[in-house]
């Protein structure tokens, strides 16, 4: 599968508690709702309903420790998905949000120095099968690490909760380990 | 294998595991708390699993919102309590028996050496202090673990800190945590990894100090922090443990991605400057900095041993009139023990406000949050803008000894010099 679209980038730390500001930490998990004020603390211009979503990004490209700061909230991931983000590339990801991304089937792709080949607004193309990332605006490209089979399996099932619902319904939970 | 690899292998029914591998493991206990618990139970109910996997091993704690600061949070707490009751949970530490979840999990023996426990709060790494693998997860993972008694993990790369030397007076485990933060920074070095602490200076730490050290491994970006159990662990757990366990440790020939050696003999009191946890300096560099709020508490430094240090420094003296000093014990048990030991009376005489156990101002939700222009000297764990309330407040993080000694002067001092 090939995803194509516009990128939002940041060289600075993008922290979980800025992606989802405190007044939403206890909100119910809902992609559309969680997307409304996503990134509100990263940039004040996004502290307006659907402001980030309305800029129409498909990708995020960042440097180290993306979504760091240790919040165990999963609205960071559901909010990005609700805002139209279909993959995030960074030098490294904070582990809690990396887990959450896998659990929701949103590709968080570790790609060293990817920030050096993309500016905000660039048009990117990512091939999920070959793991090739192309910057259509400047012609640069790179190949990312492949996705682990378990991650693909969870994504295929529609996320961890559906993956487990099916196993509970089938009576195959005991086979997990 | 390292202790963490052994724990992951045993609990996934394998002979061995390799860093990078994804495995499903058994989970010994699952913790959720007032702040995210209602949502966790809602997702759990949506899985169609019926009962939780073990009513004695899903642990519920009220800590972020008690006592409730607003009608909205009071309502949330009521919904949370209803959810806990509906699931017939045996161990529910609600207001009156409350404490910070991570303190409760260790103090009440809900985490054990060689076992894996998960919690819906990032500082679940604390459980490594008694040789457990403690891991923070979000609500979906916790719901799945409640239903299945299992969780998936990526086997982390293994990093060891071998710590030697003599701890100097007024130097605490917190100083070592902050020192390592400054040494490693946030540039991905420790993300996803295990931080195993070992060596004579770790053996010398009490369980409280080990909890501080493992607690802050999450703030270093690590997946878990761990210290192998020893006689102190046995003595600590014996009266409270909720299950049996075996001694476990790393093999002499275990593989580590990196081993860092630190000698604490030369380690002094250490401070993280406002906004960035990895902006760490020796206390000497910030001596003389004025502040108006002092705070001791949290899952990092709200234990009896921390309160003892504060009481010892403040005994017979008065907190500076320009400083508001708030101390919040990490659990009801600690609060009671501190009263018995006479510490609370000493604190009150010195002009310290003591509040009922909770996460308190650390989460920026209630009890002494920071306002515009506040400069806070805190023994907590995070200092980013807005962490304790207003984005226009500055937070210096340090040890309980530095907070107490500085509160007497109204400016940061080196507690070794007073």
Distance from CA of A109 to the nearest CA of B (A): 14
C-alpha of A75 from chain center: 11
Closest chain A residue to B76, measured at CA: A26
Residue to substitute from A17, A74, A75, interface B, most B β-carbons within 10 A: A74
Domains annotated for chain A, with CATH where assigned, are 2-145 (3.20.19.10), 147-177 (no CATH)
| Strand pairing category for A132-135 and A141-143 | antiparallel
Contacts with B86 (C-beta within 8 Å, 6 or more apart), sequence order: B41
Distance (Å, whole) CA B53 – CA B235 = 29
Could you tell me the two tokens for B115? 């076992």
Distance (Å, whole) CA A76 – CA A17 = 9
Length of chain A: 177
Distance (Å, whole) CA B127 – CA B409 = 36
What is the rounded radius of gyration, in angstroms, for the C-alpha atoms of chain B?
Answer: 20
Are B386 and A25 within 8 A, CB to CB?
A: no
Distance (Å, whole) CA A140 – CA B285 = 45
Cβ contacts from A onto B, under 8 A: 117
Distance from CA of B282 to the nearest CA of A (A): 23
ipTM value: 0.89
Distance from CA of B103 to the nearest CA of A (A): 18
User: Helix crossing, B304-314 with B207-215: angle to 10°?
Assistant: 110
State the average pLDDT for chain B. Answer: 96
User: Does residue B187 register a pLDDT over 70?
Assistant: no
Kindly report, residue by residue over B368-382, the tens digit of the pLDDT: 999 999 999 999 999
Q: Is A160 on the interface with B (CB under 8 A)?
A: yes
Handedness of CA A57, A40, A114, A87 (dihedral sign): negative
Determine contact, residues B356/B336, Cβ cutoff 8 Å: no
Contacts with B368 (C-beta within 8 Å, 6 or more apart), sequence order: B293, B295, B324, B326, B328, B353, B355, B360, B361
List of chain A residues whose C-beta atoms are within 8 Å of the C-beta of residue B186:
13, 64-65, 68
Q: Please give the pLDDT value at position B206.
A: 98
pLDDT, average across residues B159-169: 98
Closest chain B residue to A73, measured at CA: B138
Q: HSE-up of B109 (CA within 13 Å, CB side)?
A: 14
Q: Is A113 on the interface with B (CB under 8 A)?
A: no
Q: Please give the pLDDT value at position B68.
A: 94
Residue written as tokens 């009922």?
A: B356
pLDDT, average across residues B246-253: 98
Q: HSE-up of B373 (CA within 13 Å, CB side)?
A: 0
Q: What are phi and psi of B378, to 5 degrees?
A: -125, 145
Kindly report, residue by residue over B117-141, the tens digit of the pLDDT: 999 999 999 999 999 999 999 999 9
Kindly report, residue by residue over B52-81, the tens digit of the pLDDT: 999 999 999 999 999 999 999 999 999 999
Distance (Å, whole) CA A4 – CA A2 = 7
Are B150 and A177 within 8 A, CB to CB?
A: yes
Q: Is A22 on the interface with B (CB under 8 A)?
A: yes
Distance (Å, whole) CA B173 – CA B211 = 9
Determine contact, residues B156/B146, Cβ cutoff 8 Å: no
3-class SS of residue B82: helix
Q: Please give the pLDDT value at position A70.
A: 78
Determine contact, residues B109/B240, Cβ cutoff 8 Å: yes
Contacts with A73 (C-beta within 8 Å, 6 or more apart), sequence order: A16, A20, A25, B36, B138
Which of B139, B152, B191 is opposite residue A65, by nearest beta carbon? Answer: B191
Distance from CA of B137 to the nearest CA of A (A): 6
Are B150 and A176 within 8 A, CB to CB?
A: yes
Q: Please give the pLDDT value at position A148.
A: 82
Determine contact, residues B378/B388, Cβ cutoff 8 Å: yes
CB contacts under 8 A, A 114-143 vs B, are none
User: Does residue B409 register a pLDDT over 70?
Assistant: yes
Q: Is A157 on the interface with B (CB under 8 A)?
A: no
Fold assignment, B270-409: Aconitase; domain 3 (3.30.499)
User: What percent of chain B stands above pLDDT 90?
Assistant: 92
Determine contact, residues B41/B49, Cβ cutoff 8 Å: no
Concatenate the DSSP letters of all residues of B161-213 into one string: EEEES-PPTT--HHHHHHHHHHHH-SSSSSTT-EEEEESHHHHTS-HHHHHHH
Burial class of residue B234 in the structure, from the number of CB atoms within 10 Å of its CB (0-12 exposed, 13-18 middle, 19+ buried):
middle
Residue to substitute from A19, A24, A26, A40, interface B, most B β-carbons within 10 A: A26
Q: What are phi and psi of B273, to 5 degrees?
A: -80, 160
Q: Please give the pLDDT value at position B189.
A: 81
User: Helix crossing, B34-46 with B139-148: angle to 10°?
Assistant: 60
User: Does residue B188 register a pLDDT over 70?
Assistant: no
Q: Is B340 on the interface with A (CB under 8 A)?
A: no
Q: What are phi and psi of B35, to 5 degrees?
A: -70, -40
pLDDT tens, per residue, chain A with 177 residues: 999 999 999 999 999 999 999 899 989 999 999 999 999 999 999 999 999 999 999 999 999 989 988 788 999 999 999 999 999 999 999 999 999 999 999 999 999 999 999 999 999 999 999 999 999 999 999 999 888 888 889 999 999 999 999 999 999 988 888
Are B382 and A70 within 8 A, CB to CB?
A: yes
Q: Please give the pLDDT value at position A174.
A: 86
Residue written as tokens 């995210």?
A: B36
Q: Is B148 on the interface with A (CB under 8 A)?
A: yes
Kindly report, residue by residue over B302-324, the tens digit of the pLDDT: 999 999 999 999 999 999 999 99
Kindly report, residue by residue over B264-278, the tens digit of the pLDDT: 999 999 999 999 899
Element counts in chain A: helices (H) and strands (E): 6, 7
Closest chain B residue to A160, measured at CA: B140
Q: Write the Ramachandran bin of B40: left for phi over 0, alpha for psi from -120 to 50, otherwise beta.
A: alpha
Are B121 and A64 within 8 A, CB to CB?
A: no
Nearest of A78, A83, A92 to residue A13 by alpha carbon: A92
Residue to substitute from B20, B138, B146, B148, interface A, most A β-carbons within 10 A: B138
User: Selecting from 3.30.200.20, 3.40.80.10, 3.30.499.10, 1.10.3720.10, what CATH number does the domain B9-262 have?
Assistant: 3.30.499.10
C-alpha of A13 from chain center: 15
pLDDT, average across residues B165-174: 98
pTM of the model: 0.94
List of chain B residues whose C-beta atoms are within 8 Å of the C-beta of residue A96:
122, 136-138
Kindly report, residue by residue over B376-405, the tens digit of the pLDDT: 999 999 998 888 999 999 999 999 999 999
- CATH 3.30.499.10 maps onto chain B at 9-262, 270-409
Are A95 and B223 within 8 A, CB to CB?
A: yes
Distance from CA of A62 to the nearest CA of B (A): 12
Continuous H helices in B19-135: 34-46, 71-86, 101-107
Q: What are phi and psi of B364, to 5 degrees?
A: 70, 20
Q: Is A5 on the interface with B (CB under 8 A)?
A: no
Question: Other C-beta atoms within 10 Å of B391: how many?
Answer: 12
């Amino acid at each position: 599968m090939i995803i194509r679209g516009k990128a939002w980038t940041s060289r600075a730390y993008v922290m979980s508690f800025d992606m989802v500001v405190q007044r939403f930490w206890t909100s119910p998990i809902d992609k559309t709702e969680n997307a409304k004020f996503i990134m509100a603390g990263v940039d004040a211009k996004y502290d307006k309903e659907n402001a980030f979503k309305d800029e129409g990004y498909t990708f995020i490209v960042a440097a180290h420790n993306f979504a760091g700061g240790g919040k165990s909230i999963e609205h960071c991931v559901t909010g990005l998905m609700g805002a139209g983000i279909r993959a995030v590339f960074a030098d490294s990801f904070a582990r809690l949000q990396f887990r959450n991304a896998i659990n929701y089937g949103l590709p968080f792709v570790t790609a060293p120095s990817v920030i050096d080949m993309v500016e905000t607004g660039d048009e990117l193309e990512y091939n999920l099968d070959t793991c090739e990332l192309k910057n259509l605006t400047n012609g640069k490209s790179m190949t990312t690490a492949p996705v682990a089979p378990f991650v693909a399996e969870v994504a295929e099932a529609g996320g961890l909760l559906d993956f487990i619902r099916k196993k509970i319904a089938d009576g195959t939970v005991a086979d997990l380990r | 294998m390292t202790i963490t690899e052994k724990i992951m292998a045993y609990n996934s029914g394998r002979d061995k595991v390799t860093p990078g591998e994804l495995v499903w493991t058994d989970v010994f206990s699952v913790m959720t708390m007032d702040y995210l618990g209602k949502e966790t139970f809602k997702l759990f109910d949506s899985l169609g699993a019926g009962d939780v996997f073990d009513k004695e091993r899903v642990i519920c704690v009220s800590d972020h919102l008690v006592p409730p600061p607003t009608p909205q949070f009071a309502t949330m707490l009521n919904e949370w309590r209803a959810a806990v009751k509906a699931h017939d949970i045996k161990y529910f530490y609600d207001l009156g028996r409350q404490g910070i979840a991570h303190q409760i999990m260790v103090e009440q023996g809900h985490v054990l050496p060689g076992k894996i426990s998960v919690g819906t709060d990032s500082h679940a790494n604390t459980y490594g202090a008694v040789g457990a693998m403690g891991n923070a997860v979000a609500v979906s993972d916790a719901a799945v673990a409640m239903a299945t008694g299992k969780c998936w993990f990526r086997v982390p790369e293994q990093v060891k800190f071998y710590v030697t030397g003599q701890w100097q007076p007024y130097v605490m485990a917190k100083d070592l945590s902050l020192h390592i933060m400054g040494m490693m920074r946030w540039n991905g070095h420790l993300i996803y990894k295990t931080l195993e602490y070992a060596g004579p200076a770790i053996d010398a730490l009490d369980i409280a100090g080990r909890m501080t050290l493992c607690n802050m491994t999450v703030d270093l970006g690590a997946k878990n922090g761990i210290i192998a159990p020893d006689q102190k662990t046995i003595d600590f757990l014996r009266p409270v443990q909720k299950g049996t366990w075996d001694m476990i440790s790393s093999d002499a020939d275990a593989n580590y991605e990196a081993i860092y050696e630190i000698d604490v003999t030369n380690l002094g009191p250490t401070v993280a400057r406002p906004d960035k946890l990895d902006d760490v300096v020796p206390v000497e560099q910030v001596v003389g900095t004025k502040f108006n709020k002092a705070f001791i508490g949290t899952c990092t430094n709200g234990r009896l041993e921390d309160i003892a240090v504060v009481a010892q420094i403040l005994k017979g003296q008065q907190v500076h009139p320009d400083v508001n000093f708030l101390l919040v014990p990490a659990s009801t048990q600690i609060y009671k023990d501190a009263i018995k030991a006479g510490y609370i009376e000493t604190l009150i005489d010195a002009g310290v406000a003591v509040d009922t156990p909770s996460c308190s101002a650390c989460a920026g939700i209630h009890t002494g949050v920071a306002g515009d222009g506040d400069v806070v000297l805190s023994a907590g764990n995070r200092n980013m803008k807005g962490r304790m309330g207003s984005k226009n407040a500055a937070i210096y993080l340090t040890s309980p000894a530095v907070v107490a000694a500085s509160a007497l002067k109204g400016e940061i001092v080196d507690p070794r010099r007073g």
